[in-house]
Amino acid sequence: MSAPVRIGLLGCGTVGQAFVQAITEGGPTIERASGHRLEAGPILVRDPTRPRPGVDPALLTTDPEDVLADPEVGMVVELMGGVDPTSGFVRRALESGRPVVTANKQLLSREGDALLELAATAGTELRFEAAAGGAIPVIKVLRESLLAAEIDRLTGIVNGTTNFVLTRMRRAGLDYEAALALAQELGYAEADPTEDVGGADAAAKIAILSSIAFHTRVRFGDVPFEGIDGLHAEDVEIADGLGFAVKLLGVAELVDGAVSARVFPALVPHGHRLASVEGADNAVLLESPGAGEIMLVGPGAGGSETASAVLADVLSILGTQRGSFLHNALADAGRPIAPPGALRSAFYMRLSVRDRPGVLARVASALADGELSIETVLQQGQGDAARLVMILHEGREERMRAAVERISGLEDVREPPVVLHVIGNGDGR
């Protein structure tokens, strides 16, 4: 029998319990396949009295020293989340020379470069596949299969909660509040879903993925984000009638040699690959001049799914020499961060207007001042209940923002315009 590898856990919620269960029930298979026998514990928790099916209560502790100072712990798995005090715990583990596996997107999107440098200095590993795509092995693909390929664009549906909500709004005709309540009832949304529906969760993941894809240190604060919490059911319905699905997207690309990373709700043509990704699934579409288009699809969340990605990282560490390429996962190639507004996009705009002569002409003139042109226009209703819906040709985001300010000031525009990004060209690309 092989010598055991003892894994100390920081946190034991849904994912932690699934991880312990995976190495317990799958122990013989893991040992045969990898040559390593994994054992869990000690396990740091806040409340040791909370039921944790499949986890031996004798392994639980409320003292971080039981994990961080135990000489028998050969590896640390961090699943407690948050930045403080988690950052200090992870740093101590790395400084001691022990490898760390984490699913903590918020920590990595803020301190990932510093933590990887610390791991390199200590001659150990920091791995984080589960932090950016759940069960989707996108980091492994970027750092191994596409290591020599130049990525020029990354587009992702990277939050399962919002994708589930938008799918129900489109398929079942639910309004936002009803769709979110259903997501919470089914366990796809937290009791406090603010980070998910507000876009912060997706922004943290896109910061990590764009850092790796473009070899640039993109941090959470470099990713402007919008969520779906202000989205109206009528816009989802209108978009569907025009041939689009609404998705919360993370988009990262090179703009004049700089990295632009954004999160926003967008209209995606029904023929586009991302439009068919529904429910709580996630997807990442990678575009490379050399490799073409590669799309990875799978569960973006869930205890067992995330635990499987954590376990894969554990086994990768045990199967490779220390000092692997992952130390350079957030290496800086010197590319700057593109300024806000540099992104080019097509746009959807819905206006509530008074039905008077010349309204459309004045709106078109305000758009033309920003070098923006109308591709499609749809007018509905009359009197004070008139509605204009437009699809605009591609233009710079900063010019669209300025045009919206001008249009909002027009006398016959009754409410601030609703504006969403539009991606793709309708041919499935």
Q: What is the DSSP annotation of 233-267?
A: HHHHHHHHHTTEEEEEEEEEEEETTEEEEEEEEEE
Which structure tokens are listed for 65? Answer: 């020293």
Residue 355 near residue 381, CB atoms below 8 Å: yes
What DSSP string describes 125-160? -EE-THHHHTT--HHHIIIIITTTSPP-EEEEE--H
- The answer as to whether 338 is a domain residue is no
CATH of the domain at 387: 3.30.70.260
Please report how the helices 303-319 and 14-25 are oriented relative to each other, as an axis angle in degrees rounded to 10: 60
- The answer as to whether 322 is a domain residue is yes
Q: State the Cα–Cα distance between residues 183 and 302, nearest whole angstrom.
A: 13
Q: Are 157 and 289 in the same domain?
A: yes
Q: Are 283 and 153 in the same domain?
A: yes
- The answer as to whether 334 is a domain residue is no
C-alpha to C-alpha distances, 167 to 138, 221, 246, 300, nearest whole angstrom: 23, 29, 8, 15
Which structure tokens are listed for 38? Answer: 């994994």
Q: Are 280 and 381 in the same domain?
A: no
- The answer as to whether 374 is a domain residue is yes
Domain boundary among 246, 280, 299: 299
Place of tokens 């909002």: 408
CATH of the domain at 54: 3.40.50.720
Provide the annotated active-site residues. Answer: 205
- The answer as to whether 333 is a domain residue is no
Q: Are 183 and 277 in the same domain?
A: yes
Residue 34 near residue 318, CB atoms below 8 Å: yes
- The answer as to whether 126 is a domain residue is yes
Q: Are 103 and 60 in the same domain?
A: yes
Q: Are 287 and 153 in the same domain?
A: yes
Q: Are 249 and 318 in the same domain?
A: no
Domain of residue 55: give its range: 4-137+306-328
Q: State the Cα–Cα distance between residues 6 and 40, nearest whole angstrom.
A: 6
- The answer as to whether 270 is a domain residue is yes
Residue 210 near residue 154, CB atoms below 8 Å: yes
CATH of the domain at 250: 3.30.360.10
Q: Are 283 and 314 in the same domain?
A: no
Q: Are 249 and 290 in the same domain?
A: yes
pLDDT along the chain (429 residues), means of 10: 86 92 90 87 94 93 97 96 95 96 94 92 92 84 76 93 96 95 89 94 95 91 95 95 96 92 96 94 90 87 82 86 47 78 91 89 93 92 83 94 94 93 63
Task: Please indicate, yes or no, whether the overall pTM of this predicted structure exceeds 0.85.
Answer: yes
Give me the phi and psi of 356, to 5 degrees please.
Answer: -125, 155
Query: What total number of domains does the chain contain?
Result: 3
Q: Are 157 and 26 in the same domain?
A: no
- The answer as to whether 191 is a domain residue is yes
Question: In this structure, what DSSP letter does residue 58 have?
Answer: G
Q: Are 246 and 185 in the same domain?
A: yes
Please report how the helices 200-213 and 105-122 are oriented relative to each other, as an axis angle in degrees rounded to 10: 40
Q: State the Cα–Cα distance between residues 223 and 261, nearest whole angstrom.
A: 5
Q: State the Cα–Cα distance between residues 376 and 357, nearest whole angstrom.
A: 19
- Give the pLDDT of residue 325: 43
Q: Are 122 and 219 in the same domain?
A: no
